[in-house]
Amino acid sequence: MESTLQGQLKTWRRHLHQHPETGFEEIGTADYVANILKTLGYEVHRGIGGTGLVANLTVGDGKRAIGIRADMDALNIVEQAPDRPHASRTLGKMHACGHDGHMSMVLGAARLLAEQRDFNGTVRFVFQPAEEHGRGAKAMMADGLFERFPVDAIFGAHNMPGMRAGTFATRPGGIMASEDNFVIRIKGRGTHAARPHMGIDPIVIGSEIVLALQTIVSRNLDPSLPAVISCTEFITDGLRNVIPSNVTIKGDTRSYSPEVQSLLARRMREVSEGLCRMHGVECAFEYTHEFAPTVNSEQFVDVAVRAARNVAGDGNVDANVQPMMISEDFGAFLQAVPGNFIFIGNGESADRGGVPLHNATYDFNDDILLTGARYFAEVARLELPLG
């Protein structure tokens, strides 16, 4: 049966890879997933939070319910894999983060549970749109996800390039950081590049701000608390011989607690506005919260670790992995209900799953599809045991 399932998972995954859709546009993706789930005997509900869907299966008389989540969206990246037979057929879009694989693993778990029916209670498979935007989880919850489909816990996973294929890693507490975005707009006075004294150069002021922002983590924050400030865009309206009038600096911050988020926002505003005042120019500062931190519940970490060990063996499970500063929309779900998020190794070598996420040559490693499907099915069995 497992060899047959592996072939099915690979077919599903490669079809999804060929037909990527980005956030809140996953209409064809949702159609494909819903049809598979209906064929398996699931009760499917569509249009939750836009293009999201929930599929339910109840076995026995158990009163408890769990959620198992997969993300559906792709990225606006041109795939650079001309020899790949299942490459994206939509120019400018590709599954460069492995959500095609996540959906296929979860569909595999749905098939295993529907065929074996070896649990007692309700499993709800949650297919979420717009993870990359950090908007899909909130949209589904705003549309009554947990009121309409209550769960006692929710579980999710993400493939991880650079980690040995088929291994697992999780931890209690914070496993992934929040992401906040910022925009700093500096309004100087443009002038001829040969007459700098006639203007107020916002490039120099912006450069001072970029450097000064780096001191916030090193000098204002307790060294035991993780945080990152990254300036990722520096945009001007100047030319080769024109000192610009305007500079826009964009970037993001990563942290794990509301207190640190508040400190970063306050100090970044003070530094930016203070330096602009010193130079006599206007400053507009914006700071927005995009992703919540992903914080696992200790009780359900234990369940996830047991499930992973049952599937992959004790030596292939790290139960206390180092926290990462990447962000994941699953964190918003964990603010509403308890649960666990786990990493599944995608491979270490470049030709077998080791290409980084969000890279134009990335591909999900089909060899881990069955491992992921078995893991999610095992979580359901442990959380909703027979007898």
Indicate the annotated binding residues.
97, 99, 132, 158, 358
Q: CA 339 to CA 24: how far, in whole Å? A: 25
Instruction: Give the residue ranges of the annotated binding site for Mn(2+).
Output: 97, 99, 132, 158, 358
Q: Is 339 helix (H, G, I), strand (E, B) or coil?
A: strand
What is the maximum alpha-carbon separation in the chain?
Answer: 84
Q: Which of 21, 73, 100, 378 is catalytic?
A: 73
Q: Is 131 marked active-site?
A: yes
**3-class secondary-structure state, position 330:** helix
Question: Is the separation of the CB atoms in 380 and 68 below 8 Å?
Answer: yes
Burial of 226 (0-12, 13-18, 19+ CB in 10 A): middle
Q: How far is CA 16 from the centre of its chain?
A: 18
Tally of CB atoms within 10 A around 124: 24
Q: Return d(Cα 78, Cα 94) in angstroms, integer.
A: 7
- Torsion from C-alpha of 200, 203, 209, 215, nearest 10 degrees: -130
Bridge partners for 121 per DSSP: 59
Q: Name the DSSP letter for residue 120.
A: S
Could you say which of 26, 71, 100, 131 is catalytic?
131
3-state secondary structure labels for all residues of 166-189: CCEECCCEEEECEEEEEEEEEECE
Q: Decide if 296 contacts 171 (C-beta within 8 A).
A: yes
| Closest by Cα among 288, 325, 330 to 136 | 330
Of 248, 250, 237, give the one whose Cα is nearest residue 190. Answer: 237
Angle at 99 between CA 72 and CA 294, to 5 degrees: 90
* Residues forming the active site: 73, 131
